[in-house]
Amino acid sequence: MQNKMKNDNLKFKIIFTIGIIGLFFSIYSTTRAGSVYYVSTASEFTAALTSAGAANGGAIYLSAGEYLGTFIVPDNITIQGAGIGNTTLKRPDYSSINNGHVLSLGSNCQVSELTIDGNKTNQNYTENFGSGIIVYEQPNAHDVIEDIEVKNTMLDGILIINSSQVILKNNHTHDTVGYNDINTHNVRAGQAYNGIKIMQHPDYAVPSYVDVIDCVSNDNGLDGIEILSSYVNVKGGYYYGNGRNQNFVDNNFPCAGIFSTYPATNVIIDGVTAYSNNGNGIDIDAANNLLITNSHSYLNGIAGIFITNSPDGNVPPANVTIIGNKAYNNDKISYEFNIHGGIFVSGGDNITVTDNFIYDSQANHTQLYGIYLGCYTGAPALSNSTVNNNFSFGNKTADYSFNITPINCSLSSTNTTNTPSYGWLDYANAIHITGWAYDADAGVNPINVKIYIDETEAANIVANISKPDLSTFGIQGINHGFDYIFPTLAVGKHIIEVYAINTPTGYNYELSGSPKTITIVEAIPPAAPQGLSVQ
């Protein structure tokens, strides 16, 4: 996967990190051959899966409607519904199938344009848990899960176990089972589940190579994404409200937008937005070869970005780069942890924290910091590490605190003299985008924004349109808006990203509200024939 270089000072960091991690992959070119099936009932769907499996492949098109059942998908199968909310695969009421995943994928499968409903309110909570989609022990899966909604599952919404080469793109996972659900039924207290879970057993030697692209995962019982695997790339997307409104009577465990722990290594988190989660926005334990960049983390219960040891305390972080992120207004829930803030790092080796923008950690605790290094007695020393060129202000206790033993480190608790540029991408549709950008170093003068469409720079324009509402934001002047009309775009979905150009030089931060996805709609195709048929 290529990285577009919006910031010259990021180029070396990206190349260095990718050199450690290795390039990610693209599997969209995989060929799936065989017969084509059009189905409209669950029994027809089951029959089509059996027939296509015997033929070593095929494409199955599901018309709008509800399909009750749990379905096992053989290798080399494409499944396409009539759209999210139109085609629904639903687990039956009080299903007696233990671990009854709604959709279990073989290898070389593609699933798109449908909803999966785990029907959690009508299940037996003492047993028979199941996920929405599972990919299990497929060392060369080459699976693509795209444009899928997964909701109300009794296990993780999408579950990848001991499998390699999977792409998750533009999916929405939400409302997996949580403590409130389970406590209501008074059984299995202490268990809750993630929107997406990617895991490999420690003795499983095949790296995952999973891409999670522009997904949304919210209001799940545990984390938005949980990563216990290697070579995972989370690019774009929104992770919010996870663990929110949960009653942790039996297990006071905070939930994150993105959570990664041992044995996870070689993880990239790029351009995500994590907010209003019960615990941390981004929570990484025992990180090894980690890049967090261009991400926004705000209004979370504890910290914006939280880096610490493995749960047993034996594996400290190593080779971590945190660059070009925004973390603000965190620490919204009071937990037993006594130090919170924008970016928290407990210690480790070869840690780089640079060009981050942290502000307004002002909530519950008496000790709130913008950037905090070190915490508890016995925390590892910080060695061979760099903290510089950050901008941290308005935090309750201090903007910086280095309560840690530095070994061969360059640690700066002084803000860069260059005030960061910032703003919002307010609106996007198939015709245009609008928003604003501002840099205090430019004062009333407008600055430029760079607009990217599908990873490619499309425009560099001046943000100089009048926006009278900016006068309430405490900035100088109101002529900082922009309105950009798109060129002709191909039919389909497109990812729009906007960056504010720093004045006079410096890191170009992505606007809040960016990225956004727009859809260029084609003409409605003829209706598919009804009933099971083979062409």
Q: What is the mean pLDDT of residues 273-289?
A: 92
Phi, psi of 226 (to 5 degrees): -120, 125
Q: What pLDDT is stored for residue 263 in this prediction?
A: 77
Q: What is the mean pLDDT of residues 38-65?
A: 97
Provide, for the chain, the percentages of residues in helix, strand and coil under a 3-state DSSP scheme, each rounded to the nearest 5: 10, 40, 50
pLDDT tens-digit readout, 178-200: 766 655 544 344 467 899 999 98
Q: DSSP secondary structure string, 269-285?
A: EES-EEES-SS-SEEEE
Distance separating alpha carbons of residues 475 and 477, to the nearest angstrom: 6
Q: Which two tokens stand for residue 310?
A: 């493995």
Question: Percent of the chain scored above 90 by pLDDT?
Answer: 59
Distance separating alpha carbons of residues 348 and 293, to the nearest angstrom: 19
Mean pLDDT of the chain: 84
Q: What pLDDT is stored for residue 145 in this prediction?
A: 98
What 8-state DSSP symbol labels residue 510? Answer: B
Distance separating alpha carbons of residues 148 and 173, to the nearest angstrom: 8
Residue with tokens 């960091």: 13
pLDDT tens-digit readout, 471-521: 888 899 999 999 999 998 999 989 999 999 999 988 999 999 999 999 998
pLDDT class of 15 with cuts at 50, 70, 90? very low
Distance separating alpha carbons of residues 144 and 201, to the nearest angstrom: 22
Give the ranges where 210-333 is alpha helix by DSSP (H).
Answer: none
Do residues 117 and 95 lie in contact, with contact meaning Cβ atoms separated by under 8 Å?
no
pLDDT class of 130 with cuts at 50, 70, 90? confident
pLDDT tens-digit readout, 82-126: 999 999 999 998 876 666 899 999 999 999 999 999 998 888 766
pLDDT class of 397 with cuts at 50, 70, 90? confident
Region for 338 from its dihedrals, namely left if φ exceeds 0, alpha if ψ lies in -120 to 50, beta otherwise: alpha
Measuring CA to CA, which residue among 258, 3, 31 is closest to residue 144?
31
Q: What pLDDT is stored for residue 531 in this prediction?
A: 45
Q: What pLDDT is stored for residue 39 in this prediction?
A: 97
Model confidence, pTM: 0.89
pLDDT tens-digit readout, 327-357: 988 876 655 555 567 999 988 999 999 999 9
pLDDT class of 315 with cuts at 50, 70, 90? confident
CA–CA distance from 430 to each of 213, 451, 486, 518 (Å)? 20, 15, 8, 6
pLDDT tens-digit readout, 136-161: 999 899 999 999 999 999 889 999 99
Do residues 500 and 437 lie in contact, with contact meaning Cβ atoms separated by under 8 Å?
yes
Number of Cβ atoms within 10 Å of the Cβ of 18: 17
- Sign, CA dihedral 507-513-515-518, equals negative
Give the pairing type, strands 35-39 and 58-62. parallel
Residue with tokens 């926005």: 281
Do residues 144 and 28 lie in contact, with contact meaning Cβ atoms separated by under 8 Å?
yes
Distance separating alpha carbons of residues 62 and 39, to the nearest angstrom: 5
Structural domains in the chain? 422-520 (2.60.40.10)
Half-sphere exposure of 389 (CA within 13 A, CB side): 15
**3-class secondary-structure state, position 427:** strand
